[in-house]
Amino acid sequence: MDTLEQKLRLQICDIGRNLFNKDFIAANDGNISARLSENVILTTPRAVSKGYLEPHMLVKVNLQGEVLEAAEGYRPSTEAKMHLRIYNELPEMKGVVHAHPPYATAFAIKGEALDKMMMPESVIMIGDIPLAEYGTPSTEEIPDSLMPFLGKKTAVLLENHGALTWGEDVMEAYLNMERLEYTAKLTFITRMIGGERELPQHRIDELVALRSFYGK
Ligand SMILES: [Zn+2]
């Protein structure tokens, strides 16, 4: 096994533990993947708690969804299709994370996008977080619902379901999930104390201009 594959296997397990310990997923929910080469990804297996992943459990799949390598008893996530859509559409993206973080999922169930520009870091690093239309898990409906946002966003709420984030590597995809949930949590808390106050437009413009400085 080459070092890149070893590194990615360990990184995915580490991210799984973080998602689990931060209460972003329950039981066997959620899935994580990373691009290994142009046409090959590593994905978490179905029906396994991502808090207890081990490197050998990850499954190697090509971008057509065919299993290339899997330890006995392990099959790719049933939600791998939404990961594959991102890798197929966006060659520069190398990591995808799906979770059900509670604050973000509450907004997804309510049907409200997280589009208030409240904090400098959020405006620079992630911008507004749209709501992708509801689809039945494991069908093409969720991948199809992502299409309007591909190439424009790196984080979306999945209506009545959870959240999906992606990035130029799997750690960036995971950090986008943290950013998304943090935005949802802050929106919830500020509403408990009278409601959020957005930054004025000229301040938002200043932050948007800073994105390239932060590599965004
Ligand atoms: Zn899900």
- Å from CA of 25 to ligand 1 middle: 9
The whole-number average pLDDT for the span 144-158 is 97
Residue 211 has pLDDT above 90, yes or no: no
Rounded to 5°, angle at Cα 100 from 216 and 134: 85
Band of pLDDT at residue 126, cut at 50, 70 and 90: confident
- Cα distance between residue 190 and residue 186, in whole Å: 6
- 3-214 architecture in CATH? 3-Layer(aba) Sandwich (3.40)
Read off the pLDDT of residues 2-22 as tens digits, 9 standing for 90 and up.
899 999 999 999 999 999 999
- Residue 46 backbone zone (phi > 0: left; psi -120 to 50: alpha; other: beta): beta
- Å from CA of 35 to ligand 1 middle: 20
Percent of the chain with pLDDT strictly greater than 70: 100
Residue 129 · residue 156 · CB < 8 Å = yes
The whole-number average pLDDT for the span 23-33 is 96
- Å from CA of 160 to ligand 1 middle: 10
Rounded to 5°, angle at Cα 34 from 32 and 38: 145
Band of pLDDT at residue 118, cut at 50, 70 and 90: confident
Query: What pLDDT score was predicted for residue 168?
Result: 97
Read off the pLDDT of residues 46-89 as tens digits, 9 standing for 90 and up.
999 999 999 999 999 999 999 999 999 999 988 999 999 999 99
3-state secondary structure (DSSP) of residue 7: helix
- Å from CA of 100 to ligand 1 middle: 6
Axis-axis angle for helices 3-21, 170-192 (nearest 10): 10
- Å from CA of 189 to ligand 1 middle: 25
- Å from CA of 186 to ligand 1 middle: 22
Q: Which of 179, 142, 138 is nearest to 159 (CA)?
A: 142
Query: What pLDDT score was predicted for residue 98?
Result: 98
Rounded to 5°, angle at Cα 156 from 153 and 160: 160
Query: What pLDDT score was predicted for residue 132?
Result: 98
Read off the pLDDT of residues 184-195 as tens digits, 9 standing for 90 and up.
999 999 999 999
Beta bridge partners of 31: 98
Query: What pLDDT score was predicted for residue 138?
Result: 86
Residue 163 · residue 105 · CB < 8 Å = yes
- Å from CA of 162 to ligand 1 middle: 6
Query: What pLDDT score was predicted for residue 68?
Result: 97
- Which phi and psi (to 5°) does residue 36 adopt? -95, -40
Percent of the chain with pLDDT strictly greater than 90: 84
Residue 9 · residue 55 · CB < 8 Å = yes
Any idea where the domains of the chain sit in the sequence?
A: 3-214
Band of pLDDT at residue 174, cut at 50, 70 and 90: very high
Burial class (CB in 10 A: 0-12, 13-18, 19+), 21: exposed
